Structure 1
Amino acid sequence: MAVYRKVYRFRMEPTQAQGDALLRMAGARRFVWNWGLKRRKEAYAATGKGLTYCQQAAELTALKKQPETAWLKDVDAQLLQQALRDLDRAYQAFFSKRARFPRFKSKKRDEPRFRIPQRVRVEESKVYIPKVGWVRIRQSQPIDWRIKGATFKQDAEGQWYVTLTAEFEVPDVPLPPANPERVVGIDLGLSHFAVLSDGSPPIDPPRFYRKGLAKLRRAQRALSRKQKGSKNHEKARKQLARVHARIRNQRQDWLHKLTTALVRQYDGLCIEDLNLKGMARTKLSRSVQDAALGEFRRQLEYKALWHRKHLAVIDRYFPSSKLCRECGSINPTLSLSERVWTCGCGAVHDRDLNAARNIRAEGIRTIPVAVGHTETLNAWGEGVRPAHSRQSSLNQESHAL
């Protein structure tokens, strides 16, 4: 059995007393993180060796017995231990060169948050938090599996959210074969968000950031005119945060609906491995980040896994746009501004549709197909490999003979 995880995120509706308790727990987590980081630095400066998680956990037990830090007893013990585990994981990420050196957390800059690995449960639209009690949540869907951890976080607007991680098991068996007629190639871009190989109408990008840019600018100007530290400054900051949150929620809702519809409609999906970091450094960076192509791929990957559908990722250097579907030749002079081009064989190609069909033809080679269909044929009955590749293979065989 293969074990997978599913994450649920619900908005919380704490009372004033519960909200204060949540802030105290977030403050305790930040205090333990800073204390643990300071102790590690002191130990390394004195002995040349760092402290392990087990050593710091023992020191934490002694710390709670001291009079000046006895208030830590009022906080859930697993929350404090999880802060030390997160610090240890941050050190491991630094030594493996995956992240920078851990830093102290500021009360002003660090968003209030904490994690509890156990003893969190959900019943009747309420979540139970140790040392806090039952807190109302806006539960939009049931939780069908066992909860393995919970993260509580307050956003810039001041709203609390709980993120619950649940685990479920899926039989570890091969995916069912796909029907080639239900395999689609997806060409992602900026003028059209996605073009499908089956000839469906192109999916235009919603451009939520572009549409909300005027409101963002007004909110940012209003914030810049307020005196820092004043109540009006805090009101303007929350208003700006609400505009950002609305844009983010619109984008996420649109992406979730699109990816869910694609996974349910097709047995196999073929996409291209795009260099999104490189694209984000160009003059089109704002449009690239607004489209959220990386989030689209992330959602497709885990939803295809949950629904037991096939997902093929094509190499980023595959010439999907320049490859002619009729003769297999490559147009090396094709520029980005050419949306329709004519091959030397006379075939006229729509750039995006041609790329989507080439992506499908390349991706279907790695997808097992249902009985009665040949794996090396696509929906049009043509050979999957480009014609120039087949010709070069024949030439090599003839030379070998």
Structure 2
Amino acid sequence: MAVYRKVYRFRIEPTQAQSEALLGMAGARRFVWNWGLARRKEVYAATGKGLTYNQQAAELTALKKQLETAWLKDVDSQLLQQALKDLDRAYQAFFSKQAGFPRFKSKKRDAPRFRIPQRVRVKESEVYIPKVGWIRIRQSQPVDCSIKGATFKRDAEGQWYVSLTAEFEMPDVPLPPANPERVVGIDLGLKDFAVMSDGTRIAPPKFYRRGLSKLRRVQRQLSRKQKGSKNRDKARKRLSRVHAKVRNQRQDFLHKLTTGLVQKYDGLCIEDLNLRGMAKTKLSKSVLDAALGEFRRQLEYKTIWHCKHLAVIDRYFPSSRLCRECGSINANLTLSDRVWICECGAVHDRDLNAACNIKAEGMRHIPLVYGPSPSREGIVPVAAGHTETQNAWGEGVRPAHSRQSSLNQESHVL
């Protein structure tokens, strides 16, 4: 049996007293983080050695017995210990050069949040928090898995949310073969968000673009308010609501789309796009608005949950330039060419042709119900363990001095 994790996120509806209790727990978490960081710096400056988590946990027990910090006893003990664990993990990430040096938490900059690893329960649209009690939540789906931790956070609008981390088991068996008729290739882009190999086209929602005019207006209103005033705080909350609406619209669109695709098809084939590089171009605003990386992330875990196949094609595969009829590559194809004609006479829609080629390439890696996986005629296969010989533009990726012999060998094949 394989163990997987799932996160449930619900909005909390606390009373005034419960909201103050949540803020107090978030403040305790911030206090313990800052205290632990200061202690580590102090000990290192005096002895040249750092403190471990176990040492700081023992110091935390003594800290709660002091008169000026006795209020920490009113906070869940595991919450305080989790703050020290997060600090220790931050140090490990710094020493492994995965993150910067830990910094002190500010009440203004750091959003109120805390984490409790155990003793959090959900029952009938309510969540139980130690030292606080039962709080009403907007439970949109049942939690049918074992809860392994809970994170509570207040967003910029002042709304509290709980993220429940749950674990569930699935049989560790091979996925069932896919029906070739229920395998689809997906070509992602900006003109169309997605073009399917069956001809389906999904228009780009462009939520950020549509809300840009209102976003600019609210940002101007915020910039005119005096710093520290109540009107500035109100304008900041209005700006947060605009951003939250765009974010929620995008997430709703992606979740409905990915869930529908996984339920409809047995196998899905997509490209491994260089999104980090695309986000640095002049189209970065449109690339980030489309959230193509989030689309792939949701497909990856939803195909696992539904026992479906997901084939990720190499980014150097020439899906747009490859003629699916004769197998030749159009080296002169530009980004503005939405329709092109091959030398064999076939007329191709750029995105639809790419989706069909992605499907044909992906089916080579998906077990099918009927017969072996299809192969592409006219394309030189690459041996396992070797790099691709052509990039997405249909040109070689090897240095010029080592490509001459390979080009001579490929010329008569292509």
Q: Same fold (TM over 0.5)?
A: yes
The range that moved more, 226-235 or 12-21, is 226-235
Report the residue type matching 2:40 in the other structure: R
Contact (CA 8 Å) 1:325, 1:354: kept in 2 or not? yes
Q: When the two structures are superposed, what TM-score results if normalisation uses the length of structure 2?
A: 0.91
Contact (CA 8 Å) 1:121, 1:147: kept in 2 or not? yes
Q: Does 1:374 align with 2:381?
A: no
Aligned equivalents of 1:331 and 1:42: distance in 2? Answer: 65
Aligned equivalents of 1:239 and 1:65: distance in 2? Answer: 43
Q: Does 1:228 align with 2:227?
A: yes
Aligned equivalents of 1:13 and 1:254: distance in 2? Answer: 25
Aligned equivalents of 2:316 and 2:68: distance in 1? Answer: 61
CA apart distance, 1:46: 2.2
Aligned equivalents of 2:90 and 2:311: distance in 1? Answer: 33
Aligned equivalents of 1:139 and 1:52: distance in 2? Answer: 39
Aligned equivalents of 1:17 and 1:362: distance in 2? Answer: 59
The range that moved more, 287-296 or 359-368, is 359-368
Contact (CA 8 Å) 1:151, 1:164: kept in 2 or not? yes
Contact (CA 8 Å) 2:13, 2:136: kept in 1 or not? yes
CA apart distance, 1:204: 0.7
Equivalent residue, structure 1, for 2:2 = 2
Aligned equivalents of 1:386 and 1:100: distance in 2? Answer: 51
2:122 partner SS: strand
Aligned equivalents of 1:167 and 1:138: distance in 2? Answer: 21
Aligned equivalents of 1:87 and 1:334: distance in 2? Answer: 52
Equivalent residue, structure 2, for 1:141 = 141
Equivalent residue, structure 2, for 1:54 = 54
Equivalent residue, structure 2, for 1:218 = 217
Aligned length: 386
**Residues 199-252 of structure 1: per-residue CA shift (max 9 Å, x gap):** 22x101100000111111111111111111111111111111011101100000
Q: How does 1:177-192 map to 2 (within 5 A)?
A: 177-192=177-192
Equivalent residue, structure 2, for 1:162 = 162
Aligned equivalents of 2:165 and 2:319: distance in 1? Answer: 38
CA apart distance, 1:265: 0.3
CA apart distance, 1:386: 4.5
Q: Percent identity?
A: 80
Q: Does 1:282 align with 2:295?
A: no
Aligned equivalents of 1:386 and 1:218: distance in 2? Answer: 56
Where does the alignment leave 5 or more consecutive residues of structure 1 unmatched? 378-383, 397-401
Equivalent residue, structure 2, for 1:337 = 336
- Change over 3 Å in CA distance of 1:240–1:386 after alignment to 2: farther
Q: How does 1:1-400 map to 2 (within 5 A)?
A: 1-200=1-200, 202-370=201-369, 373-377=370-374, 384-389=375-380
Contact (CA 8 Å) 1:364, 1:375: kept in 2 or not? no
**Residues 311-333 of structure 1: per-residue CA shift (max 9 Å, x gap):** 01111111111111111111222
- Change over 3 Å in CA distance of 1:232–1:386 after alignment to 2: farther
Aligned equivalents of 2:318 and 2:289: distance in 1? Answer: 25
List 4+ stretches of structure 1 deviating above 6 A: 390-393
The range that moved more, 3-12 or 38-47, is 38-47
Aligned equivalents of 1:271 and 1:361: distance in 2? Answer: 11
CA apart distance, 1:65: 1.2
Contact (CA 8 Å) 2:148, 2:167: kept in 1 or not? yes
Aligned equivalents of 1:205 and 1:375: distance in 2? Answer: 36
Report the residue type matching 1:253 in the other structure: D
CA apart distance, 1:257: 0.2
Report the residue type matching 1:315 in the other structure: D
Aligned equivalents of 1:322 and 1:269: distance in 2? Answer: 21
Q: When the two structures are superposed, what TM-score results if normalisation uses the length of structure 1?
A: 0.94
Report the residue type matching 1:103 in the other structure: R
Where does the alignment leave 5 or more consecutive residues of structure 2 unmatched? 383-388, 390-405, 410-414
CA apart distance, 1:69: 1.2
Aligned equivalents of 2:254 and 2:175: distance in 1? Answer: 25
CA apart distance, 1:375: 2.3
Contact (CA 8 Å) 1:268, 1:311: kept in 2 or not? yes
CA apart distance, 1:349: 1.0
- Change over 3 Å in CA distance of 1:171–1:390 after alignment to 2: closer
1:68 partner SS: coil
1:26 partner SS: helix
Report the residue type matching 2:266 in the other structure: D
CA apart distance, 1:145: 1.3
**Residues 119-139 of structure 1: per-residue CA shift (max 9 Å, x gap):** 000111111101111111111
Aligned equivalents of 1:354 and 1:88: distance in 2? Answer: 51
Contact (CA 8 Å) 2:5, 2:165: kept in 1 or not? yes
CA apart distance, 1:42: 1.9
1:38 partner SS: helix
Equivalent residue, structure 2, for 1:381 = none
Contact (CA 8 Å) 2:367, 2:373: kept in 1 or not? no
Report the residue type matching 1:244 in the other structure: H
Aligned equivalents of 1:390 and 1:133: distance in 2? Answer: 63
2:263 partner SS: helix
Q: Please give the root-mean-square deviation of Cα atoms over the aligned residues, in Å.
A: 1.6
Equivalent residue, structure 1, for 2:392 = none
